[in-house]
Structure 1
Amino acid sequence: MRKIMIFSNMYPSAEHPTYGIFVKNQVRLLESAGVEVDVVAIQDPGKGRKAALKKYMTWCGRAVWQMIKNRKVIALTHAHYAFPTGVLSLVGKKVFGIPYVVTVHGGDIDQMAAKSQRIADMTKRILQQAEAVIVVGDKLHADVTTRFGVPEAKVHVMSMGVDTSVFKEVPKAEARKQLGLPIEEKIMLYVGNVIRAKGLLELVEAFDSLKMSLPDSRLYIVGSQKDDAFAGELRSFIQENDVEDIFFKEPLSQSDLALWMAASDTLVLPSHHEGFGLVALEAMAAGTTVVGTDVGGLSYLLKDGAGFLVEPENPASLATGLWNAIGENAEGIDDTVVRERVTANSFETILANLLSIYRSAGKGRVARDE
């Protein structure tokens, strides 16, 4: 297979090791299969109008230059996020005749395309002119085909995948010993950005309501606090309501995160909207019960007894779900369904599907003499 060029507006760096880590994981997966990959990405999550303009202009310039230099050997480009990243792939197709694939992750459809009609129209153009569109959840499939008019034959439902060599079951006592956590307490874990749309205010309220029944319980919130205003509001909310045993942690490496998941009684993801919910899948692979809101990809991941689905933006429903998962009379989950979901989204399965999409999308440009 000839060279694949990956465009992404999120990609890890030494300073920000978890920023777009799911894209880097997929790049490594492709490289492990012998695929030559070039990455042109933004690695700085910093905000601010002036800084954002500079980094995006630099990124666009690098992308165009790389396509000019490599236009004869690029099989296709793969854009992560329809807008703005897909603009680069669209330019590559129009100017250099390079076919492209685009992965829709959720925010690019649910939020970015809703900002203006101009962005919505550009998103539609990007999606319709792609050789293939990958969506990370069933709801996104419906959105792409109905709202943006992309033919179903071009749309593929495929998550970013879970590395089961990293996210795997470890005996809870052993994991807690390694992390220095108490064996007897109930530990709830949230992993993700500390932003309002992740439902953290509702999570704190739900956790507080459970403390009477589960006095020996802790809540760990692991993630980037890049929204300073909301992070301050959340901490004030915790203090004003005198909620104890809530601990904040900075983003963790994947190996450390896998151990934290294995050590926890439940992973809770109370999002208001969610493209797929990769951390939920990772927790399932680590053998941890997941409680999540009935939105986006979580609706699929946790249905049929694979986890506990609760109403979004509803602290009472969230508290009930957490109680069902880890309370005195905790309900069980269907381990067979969990294993099926994990296997369907394992790196091995994802790689096979992705290479098939590339071959079809790139046609003669992808194939090489072997």
Structure 2
Amino acid sequence: MRVLTFTALYPNKVNPLQGIFIHQRVKHLARRPGNFLEVIAPVPYFPSWLPIRRWQQFSQIPREEVIDGMRIHHPRYPFLPEISMPAHGMLMYLASLPIAQRLHREKRFDCVDAHFVYPDGFAAVRLGRKLHLPVVVSARGTDINLYRSFRLIRPMLRWTLMHAAGVIAVSADLKTKMIALGIPETKIQVISNGVDTERFQLLDAKSARKQLELPEEDAIAVSVGYLIESKGHHLLIAAIAKLKERLPQVRLYVIGEGVYRAELDALVREKQLQDRVFLLGNRPNQELGLWFSAADVSCLLSSREGWPNVISEALACGTPVLATRVGGIPEIITTPEFGMLVERNVQSIAAGLEQALTKPWNRVEIARHSQSRSWNAVAAEVEDYLKSKV
């Protein structure tokens, strides 16, 4: 099967961590016998001479690159932050059409595999109509959880989902929300994300702490995710402050970067937690397994989620998880033996964190269960679904 993957949410030379879960699914699908995949990952056009650091990075992304044997094309589309969002889908489509037509003439694809319903999926469905190819769109989380509340975007979400040949939801929760948009239940297939079982596996906690130069005896919590309000890092920091008398040895390591960094730094200083809370910025994906293994608990206090990979990855390392009861999270933490679900407020988080840090956990069993959902297994399900739409 010859598949054209289309999504802007894909790793690149400048941001190798972006959309790594999509790359994992694409890469493993490409490795299955008889398959060939190529990727179009459009990026915003931004003049290299404009001195705006946040956006200037887009000019550094090559027009074409190869990652893990996957060839990725990066056409440029016009982009005005927070202004042109209703036009992003059409702009992506127009910018990507020439390269899509050329690749289809050369490769003769069987279908288009698109990720993120809007604007990516919208553009992909239009490409499919132009190229006479069926398009399967994968809903990821924010595209449905947040964008369906945007008055101008909601109709384009519905148009995309209704005109796609098929829809993949990474969680049953997302499927339910798409049905509420008027999408037929029979059109939506739930295929959850997998986990890299080579990168995320049970390791000796003492050895992991030694490699990371962390104290052996302290209780350690980690929180991995973008530094944005919806990830709830501020609530976790406040919970650490609430527990500092009862759990004087607890340390929190926050891994990630984002626009909320200054606010979190200020909160750490305000709560006088400089010796307990550490904002580490981005860390290489291959290093995350060590952090999960070194931790007593991994935390994710989001207000919305699709299928958060950091939970699956922590569990695959045998690390219990403290998380909010939102999105697909209850579909991952299906038993109290894997972690704890809390309400999204400081009191509930603090109580849950204290219990998680004092409860005995069977890390071997946690890892064994979570390792069963490999990316190979996911790729096989995706392959079967794509074939059913060709």
Residue type at the aligned position of 1:7: F
Match of 1:237 in 2: 267
User: For residues 78-134 of structure 1, what are the alpha-carbon distances to aligned partners after superposition, in whole Å with 9 as ceiling and x for unaligned?
Assistant: 111100001122112322211011110110011122122x31111111112222211
Q: Following TM superposition, where does structure 1 have runs of at least 4 consecutive aligned residues deviating by more than 6 angstroms?
A: 51-55
Match of 1:77 in 2: 112
Match of 1:39 in 2: 39
Match of 1:368 in 2: none
Question: Could you state the TM-score of these two structures normalised by the residue count of structure 2?
Answer: 0.84
Match of 2:24 in 1: 25
Q: Name the CA distance, whole Å, in 1 between partners of 2:361 and 2:388.
A: 42
- 1:5–1:76: 8 Å Cα contact kept in structure 2? yes
| Partner SS, residue 153 of structure 2 | helix
Match of 1:278 in 2: 309
In structure 2, do the counterparts of structure 1 residues 155 and 170 end up closer, same or farther at CA, with 3 Å as the change threshold? same
In structure 2, do the counterparts of structure 1 residues 106 and 231 end up closer, same or farther at CA, with 3 Å as the change threshold? same
In structure 2, do the counterparts of structure 1 residues 160 and 236 end up closer, same or farther at CA, with 3 Å as the change threshold? same
Of 98, 106, 112 in structure 1, the residue corresponding to residue 141 of structure 2 is 106
| Partner SS, residue 84 of structure 1 | helix
Matches within 5 A, 1:330-341: 330-332=359-361, 336=365, 339-341=368-370
The question of 1:347 aligning with 2:370 is answered no
Consecutive unaligned residues in structure 2, runs of 5 or more: 45-52, 57-78
Shift of 1:31: 2.3
The question of 1:298 aligning with 2:326 is answered no
- 2:166–2:187: 8 Å Cα contact kept in structure 1? yes
Shift of 1:322: 1.2
Match of 2:235 in 1: 202
The question of 1:134 aligning with 2:168 is answered yes
- 1:18–1:252: 8 Å Cα contact kept in structure 2? no
- 1:29–1:351: 8 Å Cα contact kept in structure 2? yes
- 2:337–2:361: 8 Å Cα contact kept in structure 1? no
Match of 2:203 in 1: 170
| Partner SS, residue 18 of structure 2 | coil
- 1:5–1:38: 8 Å Cα contact kept in structure 2? yes
Match of 2:150 in 1: 115
Residue type at the aligned position of 1:137: S
Q: Name the CA distance, whole Å, in 1 between partners of 2:112 and 2:161.
A: 14
Q: Percent identity?
A: 28
Q: Name the CA distance, whole Å, in 2 between partners of 1:105 and 1:306.
A: 27
Greater mean deviation of Cα atoms: 235-244 or 166-175: 235-244
Q: Name the CA distance, whole Å, in 1 between partners of 2:300 and 2:212.
A: 22
Greater mean deviation of Cα atoms: 262-271 or 49-58: 49-58
User: For residues 178-201 of structure 1, what are the alpha-carbon distances to aligned partners after superposition, in whole Å with 9 as ceiling and x for unaligned?
Assistant: 111111111110000000011111
How many residue pairs end up in the alignment? 353
The question of 1:322 aligning with 2:321 is answered no
Residue type at the aligned position of 1:242: Q
Match of 2:67 in 1: none
In structure 2, do the counterparts of structure 1 residues 59 and 276 end up closer, same or farther at CA, with 3 Å as the change threshold? same
Residue type at the aligned position of 1:183: E
In structure 2, do the counterparts of structure 1 residues 207 and 289 end up closer, same or farther at CA, with 3 Å as the change threshold? same
In structure 2, do the counterparts of structure 1 residues 86 and 71 end up closer, same or farther at CA, with 3 Å as the change threshold? same
- 2:200–2:317: 8 Å Cα contact kept in structure 1? yes
Q: Name the CA distance, whole Å, in 1 between partners of 2:13 and 2:248.
A: 39
In structure 2, do the counterparts of structure 1 residues 223 and 337 end up closer, same or farther at CA, with 3 Å as the change threshold? closer
Q: Name the CA distance, whole Å, in 2 between partners of 1:333 and 1:107.
A: 33
In structure 2, do the counterparts of structure 1 residues 165 and 224 end up closer, same or farther at CA, with 3 Å as the change threshold? same
- 1:188–1:220: 8 Å Cα contact kept in structure 2? yes
| Partner SS, residue 83 of structure 1 | helix
Consecutive unaligned residues in structure 1, runs of 5 or more: 363-370
Question: Could you state the TM-score of these two structures normalised by the residue count of structure 1?
Answer: 0.88
Shift of 1:338: 6.0
Greater mean deviation of Cα atoms: 186-195 or 345-354: 345-354
User: For residues 319-349 of structure 1, what are the alpha-carbon distances to aligned partners after superposition, in whole Å with 9 as ceiling and x for unaligned?
Assistant: 111111112xx15469657644441x31121
Residue type at the aligned position of 1:79: A
In structure 2, do the counterparts of structure 1 residues 59 and 249 end up closer, same or farther at CA, with 3 Å as the change threshold? farther
Shift of 1:46: 4.7
Residue type at the aligned position of 1:286: C
Matches within 5 A, 1:37-76: 37-42=37-42, 46=54, 50=80, 59-71=92-104, 73-76=108-111
Residue type at the aligned position of 1:354: V
| Partner SS, residue 71 of structure 1 | helix
In structure 2, do the counterparts of structure 1 residues 96 and 43 end up closer, same or farther at CA, with 3 Å as the change threshold? closer
In structure 2, do the counterparts of structure 1 residues 336 and 151 end up closer, same or farther at CA, with 3 Å as the change threshold? farther
